[in-house]
């Protein structure tokens, strides 16, 4: 398996912390965002608080920034202005690896990478054992489907 590696644009602060216990409260405070190659904001001054365990649906036409807003939480992008808090901590003060390890993401666009089903699942945690991957597939209700494939996890 070959993994492409590039230098990230977003890096940890020198004094970034690792998360210890995550409850899951997310707060957007005056968040604005625009892509580097555009002049106008995708969105401006978004304020939203989602309590731990709450569900929120972002609904709207294609291109209004729903996925972009969600992509700010794991810091796939950086907000132009404002702060995003996780359990009251600014996400910029949290180590990226720790932040992303504590977030489950299901994007609207599904990408499959070259390699087996096992390789694709492992992409989320490169050091995962085969047993951890099978457990993750069971938790996602995918194990039975995978086992029906011609070579199971090696398909």
pTM: 0.66
Label the pairing between strands 81-86 and 26-33.
antiparallel
Q: What is the architecture of the domain spanning 26-101?
A: 3-Layer(aba) Sandwich (3.40)
Span 47-75, pLDDT tens digits: 999 999 898 888 888 888 888 999 999 99
**How far apart are the C-alpha atoms of 153 and 155, rounded to whole Å?**
6
**How far apart are the C-alpha atoms of 148 and 117, rounded to whole Å?**
12
Hey, where are the domains in the chain?
A: 26-101, 117-154
Span 70-106, pLDDT tens digits: 999 999 899 999 999 999 999 999 999 999 888 877 6
DSSP 18-73: --S-----EEEEEEEE--TT-SS-SEEEEEEEE-TT--------TTSSHHHHHHTT
């Amino acid at each position: 398996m070959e993994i492409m590696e590039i230098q990230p644009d977003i890096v940890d602060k020198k004094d970034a912390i690792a998360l210890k216990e995550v409850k899951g409260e997310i707060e957007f405070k005056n968040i604005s965002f625009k892509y580097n190659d555009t002049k106008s904001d995708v969105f401006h001054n978004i304020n939203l608080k989602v309590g731990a365990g709450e569900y929120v649906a972002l609904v709207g036409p294609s291109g209004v920034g729903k996925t972009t807003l969600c992509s700010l939480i794991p810091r796939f992008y950086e907000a132009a202005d404002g702060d995003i808090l996780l359990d009251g901590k600014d996400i910029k003060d949290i180590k990226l690896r720790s932040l992303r390890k504590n977030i489950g993401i299901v994007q609207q666009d599904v990408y499959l990478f070259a390699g087996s089903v096992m390789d694709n699942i492992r992409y989320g945690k490169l050091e995962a054992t085969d047993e951890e991957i099978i457990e993750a597939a069971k938790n996602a209700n995918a194990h039975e489907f995978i086992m029906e494939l011609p070579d199971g996890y090696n398909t």
